[in-house]
C-alpha cells in the first residue's frame, strides 16, 4: 500500500483528513435528515405539534440542544430548521460543519485533489450567500446540499490516491456515520406517542418509515424485509445488517479495515488502543440479536454505542494523532 510520508503520515495531516471525513459525513447526514423531515411534514404524519417535536429530536440528534435553547432565549421566534441548517451560532449546523470541512481541507490542500477542493469551496460559497432560511426553500436547499456533498465524496473516491490519507478520511467517515445512525435511531425514543395504543399504528409506522428514509434505507429495507414495518425490524436492519452500508455493524467493520490500513506503519504500542476498542465493539455487535437489544432497552444500548464511539475517537486522538510526529494539531469536534 502506498505511503505519502514515508514511515507514517504526519499526525497533523492524518488528523485533518480524519476530520474532513467526519465533517462531510455529518453535514450530509444532517441535510438528508432535514430533507426527509420537511417531506414527511408535508405528507402529514402527525400534525404541527408532531412536526415540531421531530425538529426538536433532530436538534437533539445533532448534539446541539443546549445551543438551541440559548439561541431561542435570544430570539424566541427562531425557527428550528434555520438553526439546524444555516445557524452560525450552531457549531453543528450544516453551514458551520461545511465551513469547518473547508477549513480542514485547506490545511491539507496537497492531500486532496483540485476537483475535491473546488467542489467543496463552491459548496461553502453557495451556503455563505444565504442569509436566512425560507421554509418553502428547505426541501430544495437540503436536496442541493446533499447532492453536492455526494459529488465531493464521488470526486474523492475517483481522484485521490489510495494511500494512508484515504484510509484516515474513511476512518472519520465511518465513525461519524455509525454515530449518526445511532442518533437517528434514537430520535424515535424522543418522539413520545400520545397513547401507548398507537404503537404499531399508522403514526408509529410513519415515524419508522421516516427514520429509514433519513438514512437512505427505505428501498433496501423493502427489498430485504417484505413483512410489515416495525421498530424491531428497522432497528435490526440499522444495527446489524452486514450488507447495508449505513448499519452499525457494517460501519464498524469498515472502520476496522481502514484503521488497520492507516496504521500499518505505526508502532503497535500506539495503534493497539483504538484497534482494541473497535475489535471488541465488532465482536459484541456480531454476537447480539435485535431481540436482546430491545429487551435490555434500545435507548440504553444506543447510548452505550455512542460512548464506545467516543472511546474510539479518544484513543485514536491520544495514541495516534498526538503521538506521531508533529502531534500538535487541534481540530475542533
In 3D space, the residue among 57, 70, 127, 143 whose CA is nearest the CA of residue 94 turns out to be 127
pLDDT category of residue 53 using cuts at 50, 70 and 90: low
Per-residue pLDDT reduced to its tens digit, 221-268: 999 877 788 889 999 999 999 999 999 999 999 999 999 999 998 899
What number is the average pLDDT over the span 87-91? Answer: 91
Nearest-angstrom CA–CA distance, 239 and 78: 35
> What confidence score (pLDDT) does residue 48 get?
47
Distance CA 224, CA 240 (A): 13
Compare 304 and 57 and report the one with higher pLDDT.
304
Model confidence at 194, in pLDDT bands (50, 70, 90)?
Answer: very low
Phi, psi of 228 (to 5 degrees): -65, 140
What is the DSSP secondary-structure string of 162-230?
SBHHHHHHHHHHHHHHHHHHHHHHHHHHHS--S-GGGTTSHHHHHHHHHHHHHTT-HHHHHHH--SPP-
Backbone angles phi, psi at 163, to 5 degrees: -135, -170
How far apart, in whole angstroms, are the C-alpha atoms of residue 63 and residue 258? 26
Dihedrals phi, psi of 198, to nearest 5 degrees: -80, -10
pLDDT for 326 beyond 90: no
Distance CA 142, CA 149 (A): 11
CA distances from 93 to 32, 34, 60, 99, 119 (A): 13, 11, 12, 10, 19
pLDDT tens digits for range 5-29 = 444 568 899 999 999 999 999 999 9
pLDDT at 331: 56
Give the model's confidence band at 197: pLDDT under 50 very low, under 70 low, under 90 confident, else very high: very low
- What CA–CA distance (Å, rounded) separates 269 from 253? 22
Provide the domain count of the chain.
1
Burial 258-277 (b: 16+ CB within 10 A, else e): bbebbbeebeeebbebbbeb
Q: Is residue 331 part of a domain?
A: no
- pLDDT at position 127 is 93
d(CA 198, CA 148): 38
Using a CB cutoff of 8 Å and minimum separation of 24, what contacts does 120-128 make?
120/152, 122/148, 123/98, 123/148, 123/149, 123/152, 124/98, 124/99, 127/86, 127/94, 127/95, 127/98, 127/99, 128/95, 128/99
Poorest-pLDDT segment among 50-54, 92-96, 116-120, 316-320: 50-54
274 in any annotated domain: yes
Query: Quick one: three-class SS letters along 249-303?
Result: HHHHHHHHHHHHHHCCCCCHHHHHHHHHHHHHHHHHHHHCCHHHHHHHCHHHHHH
Quick one: average pLDDT of 314-331? 76
**Residue 167: inside a domain, yes or no?**
yes
Question: Minimum mean pLDDT among 18-27, 69-78, 100-109, 197-206: which range?
Answer: 197-206
Is residue 327 in a domain?
A: no
Does position 201 have pLDDT exceeding 80, yes or no?
A: no
Q: What is the pLDDT of residue 5?
A: 43
2 - beta bridge partners? Answer: 163
Contact 54/191 with Cβ under 8 angstroms? yes
Asked if the structure places residue 1 within a domain, the reply is no
Q: What is the torsional sign of CA 37, 86, 166, 276? A: negative
pLDDT of amino acid 258: 98
pLDDT category of residue 76 using cuts at 50, 70 and 90: confident
CB 258 within 8 A of CB 167: yes
| 90 lies in some domain | yes
| Average pLDDT over the chain, rounded to an integer | 87
How many C-beta atoms lie closer than 10 Å to residue 326's C-beta? 14
Q: What percent of the chain has pLDDT over 70?
A: 86
pLDDT band for position 330 (cuts 50, 70, 90)? very low
Residue 21 CA from chain centroid, whole number = 10
What are the CA-CA distances from residue 155 to residues 2, 148, 152, 166, 330 (Å)? 20, 10, 5, 12, 27
Asked if residue 2 belongs to a domain, the reply is no
- In which domain, by residue range, is 63 found? 11-321
166: Cα within 13 Å, side-chain hemisphere:
18
pLDDT beyond 60 at 160: yes
* Residue 330 placed within a domain: no
Amino acid at each position: 500500500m502506498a505511503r505519502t510520508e514515508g514511515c507514517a503520515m504526519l499526525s497533523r495531516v492524518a488528523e485533518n483528513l480524519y476530520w474532513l471525513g467526519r465533517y462531510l459525513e455529518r453535514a450530509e447526514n444532517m441535510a438528508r435528515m432535514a430533507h426527509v423531515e420537511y417531506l414527511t411534514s408535508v405528507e402529514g404524519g402527525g400534525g404541527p405539534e408532531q412536526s415540531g417535536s421531530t425538529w426538536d429530536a433532530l436538534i437533539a440528534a445533532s448534539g446541539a440542544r443546549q445551543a438551541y435553547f440559548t439561541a431561542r432565549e435570544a430570539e424566541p421566534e427562531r425557527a428550528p430548521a434555520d438553526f439546524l441548517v444555516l445557524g452560525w451560532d450552531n457549531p453543528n449546523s450544516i453551514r458551520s460543519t461545511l465551513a469547518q470541512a473547508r477549513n480542514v481541507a485547506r490545511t491539507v490542500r496537497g492531500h486532496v485533489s483540485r476537483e475535491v477542493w473546488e467542489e467543496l469551496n463552491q459548496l461553502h460559497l453557495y451556503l455563505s450567500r444565504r442569509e436566512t432560511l425560507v421554509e418553502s426553500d428547505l426541501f430544495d436547499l437540503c436536496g442541493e446540499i446533499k447532492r453536492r456533498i455526494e459529488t465531493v465524496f464521488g470526486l474523492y473516491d475517483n481522484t485521490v490516491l489510495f494511500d494512508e490519507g484515504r484510509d484516515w478520511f474513511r476512518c472519520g467517515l465511518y465513525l461519524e456515520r455509525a454515530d449518526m445512525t445511532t442518533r437517528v435511531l434514537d430520535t424515535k425514543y424522543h418522539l413520545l406517542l400520545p397513547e401507548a395504543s398507537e404503537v404499531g399504528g399508522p403514526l408509529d409506522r410513519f415515524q419508522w418509515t421516516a427514520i429509514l428514509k433519513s438514512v437512505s434505507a427505505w428501498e433496501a429495507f423493502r427489498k430485504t424485509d417484505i413483512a410489515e414495518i416495525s421498530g424491531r425490524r428497522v432497528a435490526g436492519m440499522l444495527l446489524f445488517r452486514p450488507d447495508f452500508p449505513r448499519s452499525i455493524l457494517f460501519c464498524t467493520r469498515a472502520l476496522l479495515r481502514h484503521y488497520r490500513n492507516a496504521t500499518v506503519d505505526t508502532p503497535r504500542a500506539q495503534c493497539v488502543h483504538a484497534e482494541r476498542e473497535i475489535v471488541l465493539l465488532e465482536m459484541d455487535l456480531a454476537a447480539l440479536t435485535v431481540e436482546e437489544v430491545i429487551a435490555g432497552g434500545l435507548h440504553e444500548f444506543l447510548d452505550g454505542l455512542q460512548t464506545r464511539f467516543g472511546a474510539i475517537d479518544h484513543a485514536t486522538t491520544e495514541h495516534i494523532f498526538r503521538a506521531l510526529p508533529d502531534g500538535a494539531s487541534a481540530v475542533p469536534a
